[in-house]
Amino acid sequence: MSPRIRRLERREWQTYRAIRLAALADAPAAFGGTYANAAAYPEQTWRDWCAQPSWFAFEGEEPVGMVRVGSQDAHDLPELISMWVAPQARGTSTAADLVGRVLSWARAEGERGVRLRVIDDNHRARALYERVGFVLNGTRDTLPDGRAEVEMECVFA
């Protein structure tokens, strides 16, 4: 069974917070923040994030995944960020469904594609991104902890 994927309303900020904290607890090295910092964010921060382009996967009433779109900043493509799938939903369609929502949103917004960054040796994530149309764009950075991060993009035809 495929997960139900939807956006959250501002009033559901506690759900957003719970999912983000679960992601940080499960995979702290995968994100740009820490559990302790995120746990201390004020309610308004979570409410504001609910208003940004982000999607959440649910199995029944249980949240099992999330993805968010970051700003373009100096880049010409929006960035897929904060991708996470709960351990019990890994190996299902959840991750691909979440990425699909971001790609559909980008097309509907008139964007020419989407970019993302992923740890170079995260083979499972890279394989997923490649399956849905992302390719390496040549950008590679070394993180403060020494891991390599590569950038991928999916440019629409």
Per-residue pLDDT, 145: 85
Structure tokens at 69: 């779109």
Q: Which of 52, 83, 61 lies closest to 15 in space, CA to CA?
A: 61
Q: Which residues contact 110 (CB under 8 A, 6 or more apart)?
A: none
What domains can you pick out in the chain, each with its CATH number?
4-155 (3.40.630.30)
- The string of pLDDT tens digits covering residues 83-137 is 999 999 999 999 999 999 999 999 999 999 999 999 999 999 999 999 999 999 9
Residue 121, classed as helix, strand or coil, is: coil
Q: What is the mean pLDDT of the chain?
A: 92
Mean pLDDT of 132-154: 94
CA distance 39 to 18: 9
Q: Which residues contact 60 (CB under 8 A, 6 or more apart)?
A: none
Structure tokens at 110: 């008139």
